[in-house]
Amino acid sequence: MKNFKYIPAESLEKASQKKDDSVLMAGGTDLLGMIKDDLLTPETVINLKSLKELKNIRYNAGKGLEIGALATITELAENSDVQKRFPVLVQTCKEIASPQLRNVGTVGGNLCQRPRCWYYRGEFNCLRKGGDTCFAVDGENKFHCVVGGGPCYIVHPSDLAVSLLALDASLEIFSNGKLKTVPIDDFFILPEQNETKENILEPGEIVTKIIVPEIPAGSKCAFIKFKERASWDFAVVSLGILLNTNGSTIKNGRIVFGGVAPRPWIDTALNTKLTGAATDEKNLKSLADSALLEAEPMSKNDYKIILVRNLLKQALIDLSKN
């Protein structure tokens, strides 16, 4: 690895005043890979883990859950309030990477990790690295996006992003000396906005907290991740679902897809159809079949659309049962 200076962050203020050639490190599980692969060549690595206050996980009845951005995935999964009230997050955590990485990787880091696209990670001067070309388009695009792409066709790698978006979470961001709160839906961006980053963070901005509202009474949640290998694998596709049914109809709900787009994806047309939809199997099937109608698959990834629809179908049926 390239030589760099290492500074434990003294405070959020100091950390955010970093120079351009400095990088902020949370768990470091993604960052070190980036440095090892020469995708980043920082002069200084600022370790945020010294900011202990960013590790807290707090639950307030009625208000919901606050997850410090530096809480590890394991800490989130083992928190008793989370286990009791947000089992979908525990479910999500168990699907992330491997036990060893969950012991080190943080919630904030999981949301801010860079894409796994093999062109981006490899020796290709691709769009996301400031080059001219997305090599996936007429290349090996089996794992790339089917919707929301262009000019770059990555998929967003975070599992927690999918669940947290389904739960309508917000992020607290330290920005220019102040804290601001942003709905997670507004946090992630598409390549058409900026193909070199996946979220709105500007240099020096730091995600400090994830705020998850209470799951509305009567709602059911699920996170489903499909991966090629039984463990330690990124999502081929994933689903985060929040569903509130009222006997034979869906009162309201939210469906988020992972692995299909350069950001956790909300299929607006599909989500609009949820409210008031009948929960008989036939209707749920046709609902699921209407997912990703706007998708534009590439040469090797049209299977993802079938996969999403099949998994959604099953999930909706399962969640609609009592």
| Touching another protein, residues 119-158 (CB under 8 A) | 119, 121-127, 131-135, 137-140, 142, 149-153
- Other Cβ atoms less than 10 A from the Cβ of 265: the count is 28
End-to-end CA distance of the chain: 53
Given a contact cutoff of 8 angstroms between Cβ atoms, the answer to whether 309 and 289 are in contact is yes
CA distances from 88 to 102, 119, 166, 281, 301 (A): 16, 32, 10, 24, 28
Among 18, 28, 111, 270, binds another protein (CB under 8 A): 28
Nearer to another protein, 6 or 202 (CB): 6
Among 186, 213, 218, 232, binds another protein (CB under 8 A): 232
Strand-strand pairing, 57-60 and 249-258: unpaired
Question: What does the DSSP assignment read for 208-230?
Answer: EEEEEPPPPTTEEEEEEEE-SSS
Report the site for another protein in 36-65 (rule: CB under 8 A).
36, 38, 41, 43, 45, 47, 49
198 contacts another protein (rule: CB under 8 A): no
CB of 154 to another protein, least distance (A): 12
Given a contact cutoff of 8 angstroms between Cβ atoms, the answer to whether 82 and 90 are in contact is yes
State which amino acid sits at residue 56: N
Among 297, 316, 319, 320, binds another protein (CB under 8 A): 297
Residue 244-283 contact track with another protein, rule CB under 8 A, x = bound: ----------------------------------------
316 contacts another protein (rule: CB under 8 A): no
CB of 230 to another protein, least distance (A): 4
Nearer to another protein, 140 or 185 (CB): 140
20 contacts another protein (rule: CB under 8 A): no
Nearer to another protein, 182 or 317 (CB): 317
Question: What does the DSSP assignment read for 236-268?
Answer: SEEEEEEEEEETTEEEEEEEEEESSSSS-B--H
Q: Distance between CA atoms of 284 and 311, rounded to whole angstroms? A: 12
**DSSP designation for 129:** G
Nearer to another protein, 155 or 215 (CB): 155
Report the site for another protein in 76-105 (rule: CB under 8 A).
94, 97-101, 103-104
CB of 296 to another protein, least distance (A): 5
